[in-house]
Structure 1
Amino acid sequence: MSHSDYISLSWQDREIKLEYQWLNADADGPLLIFLHEGLGSISMWRDWPAQLCQTTQSRGLVFSRYAYGRSTPRPPAEQWLPDFMHQQAWEVLPKLLEALELKNEKPVLIGHSDGASIALLYASRYSHCMRGLVAIAPHLFVEEVSLSSIAVARENYVNTPLRERLARHHLDVDSAFWGWNDIWLHPEFKSWNIEAEVAQISCPILAVQGADDEYGTLEQIRTIQLLVPSTKLAILADCGHSPHRDQSAALTNHIQQFLSALSA
């Protein structure tokens, strides 16, 4: 894993520090920006982003969102609101791109799970600044299968070695876990829905999901295609919620074809 750098941003009347890394920085292909899942971080991606950048001869930017990885933790008393992904997409991500002097790039956003939802929300406002978008196991609305799996994660965090395993990837593992878990299981979050925003997207989309995703049904990516008919779908067999771990070769192949079509 490469060395991490840090950048400070002013957000919501405070300063936060985000951990980031460049991948394959000398490549001349498009810039790929990776947005991790709801319990993710730079290190939780493992080496898949670097492998994808090598395979596609692309540059990569991977970063840990606020409260994750080695980025600024969430204070224990801070409760996230149902629009927490909107805030990340419309407030923090534009600030990060500006601070890294990437405003004139036309990147491809590659998001997983909550990161895919954030990428979709960003594209709903900034499609004109993007080459394209890969949404891996995205959430557009809340399903019972998601809530039951997230409730199981809560039990496992309290009662199994899950907390110790996650602690290797986060400066403050409780900040990362409870921020995510508490808001997803909050009664107000059941009505969370970003279909209206997704309908505004005009850049090319590849939507990918495992056939055995334990956090969402295939209605999630099929809904993207209903709202944005040009969307390409990839449904991966023998694959759960993390295609970059369960079917990394197949995922890389689909993204490689998508990127080739963009440059053509």
Structure 2
Amino acid sequence: MSPVRPVEAIDAASITLNRSTGFYPVDGKRLEYLWLGPKPEDALTLVFLHEGLGCVALWQDFPERVARASGCGVLVYSRAGYGASDPADLPRSLNYMHDEGLAVLPALLDAAGVRNAVLVGHSDGGSIALIHAGGVIDPRIRGLVLMAPHVFVEPLSLESIANSRVLYTGTDLRQRLKHYHGDNVDCAFWGWNDAWLAPAFVDWNIEKYLPQISVPTLLIQGRGDQYGTERQLQAIASQLSGPVTTVLLERCGHSPFRDQPKLSQQALVDFIQTCHR
């Protein structure tokens, strides 16, 4: 296993931030990616896993600011059916996050040549990170940063997701999402929305993966999260085998990196420095 280059040994202000884009072929699909900063042989890689309606572009400039502040390499990608990636097959399996965490993500890491990584997951992306870390023996994973993750279904989540369906069909939400997803916009929305609102999805639960996770974990959630309560973080923190740091942000909803970008960035960078010190 390649040694991790400590973040504190890197002068982040002095590095030129390399940038590359393209597609990785994974499981018969072309997945859009953005790479920022050092390559995997030169530094730790932060792998960004987007939310249920996210993609590379919807992270906005947060990955770039994290890359500059941490000195780490950053890999951001869009899952199939999102952004500029190939469309996904619909309807999605109700185990679509299991499929992503157990099969697609390890293949993506292989395709990208990732050697040592911290998974940075938001919402669905956080759940996918947990499934991977607890369900795959992968020594490349050195830590987890989870923003608004979910490990079980709450009534609040279903109410907000049902409301998003009303907004998608009755407001300009579809047009705004189309700016980021292009022709994938309906695939992205209905693939996510139909799965979460399927009657059988109420029993979805990934807590069985938590005890197998021993790497350091940072949990970030807004106190005003409209898609989940603090019960999610409590369940995760109480069942993980490794050290856990929890950050609750005021004046923050479901997207800490958008609602409180500076505090989210600082928490992430501090965490990376601590867990590799």
Counterpart Cα distance in 1 of 2:221 and 2:112: 31
1:253 Cα offset (Å)? 1.0
Q: Classify the secondary structure of the residue corresponding to 1:234.
A: strand
Equivalent residue, structure 2, for 1:93: 105
1:262 Cα offset (Å)? 1.6
Mark the runs of 5 or more structure 1 residues left unpaired by the alignment: none
- The answer to whether the 8 Å contact 2:47/2:120 transfers is yes
- The answer to whether the 8 Å contact 1:127/1:202 transfers is no
Q: TM-score, normalised by structure 2?
A: 0.89
- The answer to whether the 8 Å contact 2:20/2:36 transfers is no
1:3 Cα offset (Å)? 5.5
Post-superposition CA distance 1:147-199 (Å, at most 9, x none): 00000100000000000000011131000000000000000100000011122
1:101 Cα offset (Å)? 2.1
Post-superposition CA distance 1:105-142 (Å, at most 9, x none): 11000000000000111110235321100010001000
Q: Classify the secondary structure of the residue corresponding to 1:199.
A: helix
| RMSD of aligned alpha carbons | 1.4
Equivalent residue, structure 1, for 2:60: 46
Counterpart Cα distance in 2 of 1:179 and 1:189: 13
Q: Classify the secondary structure of the residue corresponding to 2:180.
A: coil
Question: Within 5 A, what are the aligned runs for 1:142-221?
Answer: 142-171=153-182, 172-221=184-233
Equivalent residue, structure 2, for 1:60: 74
Counterpart Cα distance in 1 of 2:179 and 2:170: 18
Q: Classify the secondary structure of the residue corresponding to 1:82.
A: coil
Residue among 4, 24, 32 paired with 1:7: 24
Equivalent residue, structure 1, for 2:146: 135
Matched, 1:234 2:247: yes
Counterpart Cα distance in 2 of 1:51 and 1:180: 28
Equivalent residue, structure 1, for 2:50: 36
- The answer to whether the 8 Å contact 1:128/1:203 transfers is no
Q: Classify the secondary structure of the residue corresponding to 1:169.
A: helix
Q: TM-score, normalised by structure 1?
A: 0.93
Q: Classify the secondary structure of the residue corresponding to 1:8.
A: strand
Which segment is superposed worse, 144-153 or 127-136?
Answer: 127-136
Equivalent residue, structure 2, for 1:106: 116
- The answer to whether the 8 Å contact 2:46/2:119 transfers is yes
Question: Within 5 A, what are the aligned runs for 1:243-258?
Answer: 243-258=256-271
Paired residues, number: 255
Post-superposition CA distance 1:5-60 (Å, at most 9, x none): 01212x2xxx2110001012369542100000000000000010110110111110
- The answer to whether the 8 Å contact 1:22/1:59 transfers is yes
Identity of aligned residues (%): 42
Equivalent residue, structure 1, for 2:4: none
